[in-house]
Amino acid sequence: MSLENSTSGMFKIPILTGTNWIPFKRRMTGVLRELKLYKYVDGSATLIVPLHPTALTAAEITANEAWEEGNDKAMNRIVLSISDEQSMHVMDAETAKSMWDKLRNIHEPHGLLGILA
């Protein structure tokens, strides 16, 4: 395997180097959707807020454990698919969503001038 490619399970995609955000985003979105992990990146999967903060129910504990497992898997897929230089941007991210948002904010154009550029 060359350094330019990432194997994300059964998928092989070019790693994010900073100049290839749009194709990386498209491919990585496809990988995460195929693996049912995209909901952790787009924020539609969330931790359960307990009805009683001092005593979580068994169902709340199970749901939060499932969320943590899915979030960890999504984070790992992203980390294993970006270059060392790009990993510096997401070192302090605690969720897959915050990791994805940081990468998107860095690499996607903002404002009219950015879009035109």
Tens digit of each residue's pLDDT (9 = 90 or more) over 88-116: 999 999 999 999 999 999 998 765 554 45
State whether residue 12 is helix, strand or coil: strand
Q: Count Cα neighbours of 11 within 13 Å in the Cβ-side half-sphere.
A: 18
pLDDT band at 7 (very low <50, low <70, confident <90, very high): low
CA separation for the pair 78, 86 (Å, rounded): 10
Give the other-Cβ count within 10 Å of 32's Cβ.
24
What is the pLDDT at residue 3?
47
Residue 62 predicted with pLDDT over 80:
yes
Model confidence at 8: pLDDT above 80: no
What three-state secondary structure class fits 83?
coil
| For residue 56, pLDDT beyond 60 | yes
Q: Is 117 helix (H, G, I), strand (E, B) or coil?
A: coil
